[in-house]
């Protein structure tokens, strides 16, 4: 499918390995007025953020959420409890400010834009809508490739361009697309070499019979595309337009030393693809929460990730990342504002 003319120019990644900066950050933290290590994971988080932003006094500036929306041809096979029309309806809900991600974005003052990556419907112009529609939903991956090479590359390239034009140094990618848990499960199974049964869940609310049907359909999809090896070919054959656009967004954001605050199952599947294409992307990622979607546990293992929260959330949209955002603010708050033993006139030696 992908030939020599289908060359994707991926942005190069800066190295995060900086022993001197890391030592300086550790020294700053160890001199704070507290017992060593007493702020737990907030301390390692502060170090990671300092390395990503290349500073001993890092600040989050203009955080951004981009919610990517697209439809999936595989929904024709009955793999979702909700009809495809819900994708378009939920985009309208986002634009009206009524979804969960809108609430959390307002709460934490994070700028939110919705991206039409491939919704099977049309929208009136809206200041919070970015129209990058590649096609009106993917094809049915049970019968053919979800995307051809050109469409997949266009989606990735659009995601990269979107981030290049966006302000800020922290990015949350969210998604909306009926059927996208199936697409992400397929990507996880194929790229992670895992049984599909370990990668699927009930998605938007399948009953037991629906879950069994979903497993059967996805098994057939994997068999159809069993000879594919290249990550781009796998993404095109079984992924989604919103996932592909998220891949591009994550690659570009990492290349610009932005913090990637990763949401749940779908966002993590996009990160897995990005990591396969450009190893090291995951080093720029902070994993916000452990989704209740079963495949997310497998993704976290593959990405060697420990999420900050476990709230049994599985909504998508970027909601888990938005909820975890204040933890990053707290990590940088203590790093930048907490007194040192010297400045506070406090002895850092235990009394004997």
CA distance 322 to 349: 39
Catalytic-labelled residue, pool 175, 233, 242, 317: 317
| Other beta carbons within 10 Å of 226 | 8
- Nearest-10 Cα torsion for 155, 159, 162, 166: 170
Q: Alpha-carbon distance 269 to 249, whole Å?
A: 13
Cα dihedral sign, 101-106-112-114? positive
Angle between helices 241-255 and 149-164 (to 10 degrees): 40
Q: State yes or no: is 43 an active-site residue.
A: no
Neighbours of 208 (CB within 10 A): 8
3-state secondary structure the chain: CCCCCCCCCCCCCCCCCCHHHHHHHHHHHHCECCCCCCCCHHHHHHHHHHHHHCCCCCCCCCCEEEEEEECCHHHHHCCCCCCCHHHHHHHHHHHHCCCHHHHHHHHHCCEEEEEEEECCCCCCCCCCEEECCCCCCCCCCCCCCCCCHHHHHHHHHHHHHHHHCCCCCEEEEEEECCCHHHHHHHHHHHHHCCCHHHCCCCCCCCCHHHHHHHHHHHHHHHHHCCCCCCHHHHHHHHCCHHHHHHHHHHHHHHHCCCEEEECCHHHHHHHHHHHHHCCCHHHHEEECECCCCCHHHHHHHHCCCCCCECCCCCCCCCHHHHHHHHHHHHHHHHHHHCCEHHHHCCCCCCCC
State the catalytic residues.
317
């Amino acid at each position: 499918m992908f030939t020599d003319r289908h060359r994707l120019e991926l942005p190069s990644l800066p190295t995060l390995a900086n022993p001197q900066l890391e030592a300086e950050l550790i020294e700053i933290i160890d001199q704070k007025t507290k017992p060593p290590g007493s702020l737990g994971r907030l301390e390692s988080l502060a170090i990671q953020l300092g390395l990503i932003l290349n500073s001993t006094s890092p600040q989050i500036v203009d955080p951004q959420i981009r919610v990517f929306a697209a439809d999936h041809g595989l929904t024709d096979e009955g793999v979702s409890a909700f009809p495809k029309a819900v994708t378009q309806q939920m985009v309208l809900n986002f634009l009206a400010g009524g979804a969960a991600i809108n609430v959390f974005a307002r709460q934490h003052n994070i700028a939110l834009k919705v991206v039409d990556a491939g919704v099977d419907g049309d929208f009136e112009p809206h200041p919070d809508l970015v129209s990058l529609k590649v096609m009106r939903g993917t094809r049915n991956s049970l019968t053919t490739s979800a995307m051809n090479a050109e469409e997949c590359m266009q989606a990735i390239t659009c995601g990269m361009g979107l981030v290049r034009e966006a302000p800020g140094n922290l990015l949350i990618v969210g998604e909306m697309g009926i059927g996208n848990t199936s697409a992400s499960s397929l990507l996880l199974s194929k790229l992670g070499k895992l049984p599909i049964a370990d990668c699927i869940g009930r998605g938007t609310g399948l009953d037991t019979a629906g879950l069994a049907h979903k497993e059967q359909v996805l098994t057939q999809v994997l068999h159809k595309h069993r000879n594919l090896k290249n990550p781009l070919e796998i993404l095109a054959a079984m992924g989604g337009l919103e996932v592909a656009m998220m891949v591009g967004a994550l690659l570009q954001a990492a290349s610009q030393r932005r913090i990637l605050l990763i949401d749940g199952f779908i966002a993590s599947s996009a990160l897995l693809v990005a990591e396969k294409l450009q190893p090291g992307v995951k080093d720029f990622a902070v994993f916000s929460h452990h989704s209740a979607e079963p495949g997310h546990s497998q993704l976290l293992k593959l990405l060697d990730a420990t999420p900050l929260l476990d709230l049994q959330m599985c909504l998508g949209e970027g909601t888990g990342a938005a909820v975890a955002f204040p933890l990053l603010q707290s990590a940088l708050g203590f790093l930048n504002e907490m007194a040192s033993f010297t400045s506070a006139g406090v002895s850092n030696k235990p009394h004997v």
